[in-house]
Amino acid sequence: MVILRLSYWQIVKKDELSAQAQDQYTSKEIIEGSRGTIITADNFPLVVNQAVYSLGAYMPSVVDSPTSIVEQILPHLEFSIDDVSIATDEAKLKIALEEIKANTKSTMLERLGKSGYSVLARSLSVKEKDAIEALGIKGLTFDQSFARHYPEASMSAQLTGFVGRDDLGKSTGYFGLEGFYDRELSSRSRIEKQDVDAGGNPLLTGDFQLLPGREGRSLKLHIERGTQFVVEEALKEGITHYGAKSGEVIVMDPETGGILAMASWPSYDPSKFHLYDASLYKNPAVANTYEPGSTFKVLIMAAALNEGVVTENDQCEICHEPFQIGKYQINTWDGEYMANATPADILVNSNNVGMVWAQRRLGGEKMLEYIKKFGFGQKTGIDLQEEVASTLRSRWGEIDYATSSFGQGIAVTTIQMLSAVGALANQGVLMEPHLVQSVIGETEVPIPPKSRGQVISPDTAKRITELMIQSAGQGEAKWAAAKGYEIAGKTGTAQVAVEGHYDKDKTTASFVGFAPAKNPKFVMIVKLSEPGTSQWASETAAPLWFSLARKLLIRYNIPPDKNIN
């Protein structure tokens, strides 16, 4: 009988018992790696990982009464109200906070009444955790995890994106850089299987299996912290000052395509993204299209100059009156008609009829070829997840070519417009705009600047720059120009299409340009949607552009030249 019983345990139950024994002396540890951080070009963190804690209670170890525990814990918890209308009203805030405290108290008491383990509070900060831990209440436990933290707490939310959970509960980056570089930023868990003694200490002579993990790689941006801050502050002030519905500013190095600053408003708080409307998640500078208006004129004029169909001394033969195309009439924005206008006059006065003249000399097909070469109708390749390619119409009529020459009837994204003008500032070479300059893992892997081709010749780039200098210095926005600096730029006021027709009062005001004009340090676009104080870009976007340019030029140690007025 004994032999039979021993045989049963030794032979029949061998595998099962071996497995049970193995479980007892084998420890399996899963070590979560941390997600990579995002740092600026000057090595300041834009996104970091912050420790948060879940407060739990293991009832068999609890000694104090539930009421006593809750009374001790509550004063150390920090409560906040996200609803701005309540948070800014002292009386309402007090009531709301009392309500939250009462709810928290009753929830905790209920959970402390259960047996086993219960979670009492989540997402506690280090300060809250330390304060509660110092109370020395028996039976309480703290589970640590890491959440994304945005120390600059700024308008760059639409740049960074956010980290949420996918369908399987795994941390995943959505939108912006978090979305585009999710694979790089994500970590891989390290799994260690090791024989341990009864005290849980590893047995160095025992079995050891390792599945190596990987820490998330970090991203180093072209973005400069100071420039980003200056741009964000200026945009915020500009939107308030000009009563605009929304706004965007992008600053780019034309030589490399590196984005030095990028801000948009309205925005959201990426650490509380779930409280905001999902429409705010997408970066409008790359995900929304608009009609660029007169800023587009510099591109078509550059194409005409490059093809040699227009020269600086040519005079417009059709500029003395409105121009008729079929049933449509092309007018100037101010009703003023200047006979024999030169290309410089056309850009200085933002003359629509003059642009139709240049476009007709260029030809429709050729113009479309240049529009595509400047990168319209396709994605720029910027490293943001939600970028869209504005689609160009499939069938073009005479009127479509004409209106497109002055930026109406064609849809572009803000980044496309900036990138195209960047080519004018970069000797005619179109660069791929990029936010990340290197990915840092075990080694730092740089992302080199990428050219998208020579759109116009370096000589044409110089010539169009001269015309843009005149446009910025003598055009409608000359009153706002930065004294002492040579700036190449162009305003654009485009009416907004609403339900199939253009709304007279709603405009998109923008200004795009680069400085210093002859040796550009940056190319910048300012775009304001539906400004309230004036519908004209020369009175809204342009002064904001110039005031920002002044700050940036000083920041880049470029002093004003006394010889330039």
Residues that bind other proteins (CB under 8 A): 34, 44-45, 48-51, 126, 144, 146, 149, 151-154, 197, 199-205, 225-226, 229, 550-551, 554, 559-560
Structure token pair of residue 306: 């490059």
Q: Which helix (H) or strand (E) holds 248?
A: strand 246-252
Structure token pair of residue 213: 């993990």
Can you tell me whether residue 39 is helix, strand or coil? strand
Structure token pair of residue 353: 């009829």
Instruction: At 352, give phi and psi (nearest 5°).
Output: -65, -40
Q: Which is nearer to other proteins, 44 or 396 (CB)?
A: 44
Min. distance of Cβ 156 from other proteins in angstroms?
A: 11
Distance CA 390, CA 375 (A): 10
Min. distance of Cβ 150 from other proteins in angstroms?
A: 9
Min. distance of Cβ 29 from other proteins in angstroms?
A: 9
| Residue entry with tokens 């940056």 | 522
Min. distance of Cβ 128 from other proteins in angstroms?
A: 13
Distance CA 144, CA 142 (A): 6
- From first CA to last CA, the distance across the chain in angstroms is 111
Distance CA 56, CA 161 (A): 31
Q: Which is nearer to other proteins, 92 or 555 (CB)?
A: 555
Min. distance of Cβ 126 from other proteins in angstroms?
A: 6
Distance CA 276, CA 266 (A): 11
Q: Which is nearer to other proteins, 111 or 550 (CB)?
A: 550
Min. distance of Cβ 197 from other proteins in angstroms?
A: 7
Q: Which is nearer to other proteins, 135 or 153 (CB)?
A: 153
Residue 61's contacts (CB-CB under 8 Å, 6 or more residues apart) are 138, 139
Min. distance of Cβ 550 from other proteins in angstroms?
A: 7
Q: Which is nearer to other proteins, 422 or 516 (CB)?
A: 516
Q: Which is nearer to other proteins, 268 or 357 (CB)?
A: 268
Q: Which is nearer to other proteins, 12 or 153 (CB)?
A: 153
Q: Which is nearer to other proteins, 130 or 312 (CB)?
A: 130
Q: Which is nearer to other proteins, 230 or 541 (CB)?
A: 230
Min. distance of Cβ 521 from other proteins in angstroms?
A: 16
Q: Which is nearer to other proteins, 32 or 82 (CB)?
A: 32
Distance CA 87, CA 97 (A): 10
C-alpha to C-alpha distances, 96 to 83, 104, 134, 274, nearest whole angstrom: 10, 12, 28, 20
Which amino acid is located at 377 in the chain? G
Distance CA 28, CA 242 (A): 61
Distance CA 214, CA 451 (A): 33
Q: Which is nearer to other proteins, 20 or 50 (CB)?
A: 50
Min. distance of Cβ 96 from other proteins in angstroms?
A: 25
- Sign for the CA dihedral angle at 271, 276, 282, 288 comes to negative
- To 10 degrees, the CA torsion angle through 521, 248, 333, 396? 90
| Residue entry with tokens 């070829």 | 369
Q: What is the DSSP string of 130-182?
A: HHHHTTT-TTEEEEEEEEEE-TT-STTHHHH-EEEE-TTS-EEEESHHHHHTH
Min. distance of Cβ 154 from other proteins in angstroms?
A: 7
Exposure string for 87-111, b = 16+ CB within 10 A, e = fewer = eeeeeeeeebeeeeeeebeeebeeb
Min. distance of Cβ 204 from other proteins in angstroms?
A: 4
